[in-house]
């Protein structure tokens, strides 16, 4: 389903109030009953049902009457809630062109009031091309239900936390600006994905820098797990920037060595094939230490000193808790094994792409209730009624810079 921000022009406060009511109801419901939406939104004179009809027309909600009459958020509705919140915070004022599409996210340009261009990443776990991992990996274990909106929010929260921590420790990553729901706002990297680069002035130096980053991450207690030519940006001065962090794991992970070896192999394989390097030499890491890159003695995970820091442990205090880490790892941790073989997902508008269901034993959505209840105090008074009904119904992507010369293009819409 394509993001059409023009629709925002036609949405009223009541529309967002009802969208928020559905989001609140999805904490404990797979499909939120119509009566519960009406009670939470608390619009007068039957206004809720008129608004629901309008939201269905714009495909911000999905109506389900298979078991009972109810509604659930679509990704487009979730997008609008996140965008509205960030606009109200003053993070940006306009949304521009789409920069990229992936299996797990969409990337868009956004602009501040002063004209500064940023990147907006909307996580979209659950695309059709991504869902095959559910049947090939034991993410759900004993659970037979899940919620893609909840998992997308966790992925965004994790990426934001890791990006902030890596930036604070001097790693070449985009500047993390803000995060809300499944949306992450970051600085726009002035460069190109390495996969699009066919010639480098100093391929040996770039290779050394990239391998040094892999080692440096491990020394700080982290493994990227998807460190390849698609997630490395390089500018005209051959400066390297890392992107895409939701799948990062700790060096204490049970499969840490396998992930580390795979990251290293991806880099070796790409530079050997694209730039014809043979690696029969010793290179220097970012910290000045010698790194043996001989084909017969590839980088060893066990030989790396992991004493530079403990970012994997520090991040528990940055908003991404151990509970969040366990949940996201169970559901999407192994999806990185599919990244080399799966084609990029395409948002074909099929309803199956937004087929969210509840995670058993987990709160489905983390709501930014402070943004809503502070403006609508009467919503808070409905919580007790919601709790009673819950007891009865408790089972209920960075774009490339190949178009950067068109920087004069206008933003699609002023919000």
Per-residue pLDDT of the chain (415 residues; tens, 9 = 90+): 678 888 888 899 999 999 999 999 998 899 999 999 999 999 987 789 899 999 999 999 999 999 999 999 999 999 999 999 999 999 999 999 999 887 788 999 999 999 999 999 999 888 655 555 444 333 343 445 568 898 899 889 989 999 999 999 999 999 999 999 999 999 999 999 999 999 999 999 999 999 999 999 999 989 998 899 999 999 999 999 999 988 888 888 888 899 999 999 999 999 999 999 887 545 455 555 555 444 444 678 888 877 766 777 777 544 555 666 666 666 655 554 444 444 434 344 433 343 443 333 334 344 344 444 444 545 444 444 444 444 444 444 344 444 444 444 445 445 5
Q: Which residues contact 392 (CB under 8 A, 6 or more apart)?
A: none
Dig out the tokens for 381 from the structure: 């008074």
> Is residue 192 helix, strand or coil?
strand
Distance of CA 296 to the CA centre of its chain: 37
Q: Which residues contact 278 (CB under 8 A, 6 or more apart)?
A: 272, 295
Q: 412 phi and psi, to 5 degrees?
A: -65, -35
Question: Which CATH number applies to 1-89?
Answer: 1.10.10.10
* Active site (catalytic) residues: 226
pTM: 0.72
């Amino acid at each position: 389903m394509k993001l059409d921000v023009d629709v925002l022009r036609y949405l009223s406060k009541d529309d967002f109030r009802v969208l928020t009511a559905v989001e609140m109801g999805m904490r404990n419901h797979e499909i939120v009953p119509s009566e519960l939406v009406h009670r939470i939104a608390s619009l007068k004179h039957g206004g809720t049902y008129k608004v629901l009809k309008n939201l269905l027309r714009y495909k911000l909600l999905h109506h389900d009457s298979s078991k009972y009459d109810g509604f659930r958020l679509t990704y487009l509705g979730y997008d609008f809630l996140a965008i509205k919140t960030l606009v109200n915070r003053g993070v940006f004022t306009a949304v521009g062109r789409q920069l990229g599409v992936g299996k797990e996210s969409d990337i868009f340009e956004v602009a501040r009031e002063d004209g500064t261009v940023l990147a907006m990443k909307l996580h979209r776990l659950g695309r059709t091309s991504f869902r095959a991992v559910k049947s090939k990996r034991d993410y759900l274990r004993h659970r037979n239900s899940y919620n893609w909106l909840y998992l997308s929010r966790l992925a965004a929260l994790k990426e934001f936390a890791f990006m902030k921590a890596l930036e604070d420790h001097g790693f070449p990553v985009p500047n993390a600006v803000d995060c809300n729901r499944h949306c992450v706002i970051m600085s726009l990297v002035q460069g190109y994905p390495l996969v699009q680069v066919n010639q480098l002035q100093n391929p040996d130096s770039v290779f050394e820098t990239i391998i040094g980053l892999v080692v440096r991450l491990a020394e700080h207690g982290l493994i990227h797990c998807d460190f390849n030519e698609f997630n490395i940006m390089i500018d005209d001065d051959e400066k390297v920037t890392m992107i895409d962090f939701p799948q990062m794991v700790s060096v204490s992970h049970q499969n840490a060595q396998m992930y580390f070896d795979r990251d290293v192999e991806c880099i070796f394989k790409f530079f050997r094939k694209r730039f014809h390097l043979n690696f029969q030499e010793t290179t220097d890491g970012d910290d000045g230490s010698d790194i043996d890159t001989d084909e017969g003695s590839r980088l060893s995970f066990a030989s790396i000193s992991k004493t530079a820091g403990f970012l994997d442990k520090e991040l528990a205090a940055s908003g991404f808790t151990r509970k969040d880490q366990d949940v996201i790892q169970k559901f999407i941790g192994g999806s990185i094994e599919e990244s080399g073989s799966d084609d990029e997902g395409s948002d074909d508008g099929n309803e199956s792409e937004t087929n969210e269901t509840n995670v058993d034993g987990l709160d489905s959505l983390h709501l930014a209730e402070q943004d809503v209840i502070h403006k609508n105090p009467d919503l808070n008074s409905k919580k007790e009624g919601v709790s009673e009904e819950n007891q009865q119904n408790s089972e209920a992507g960075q774009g490339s810079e190949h178009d950067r010369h068109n920087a004069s293009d206008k933003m699609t819409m002023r919000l």
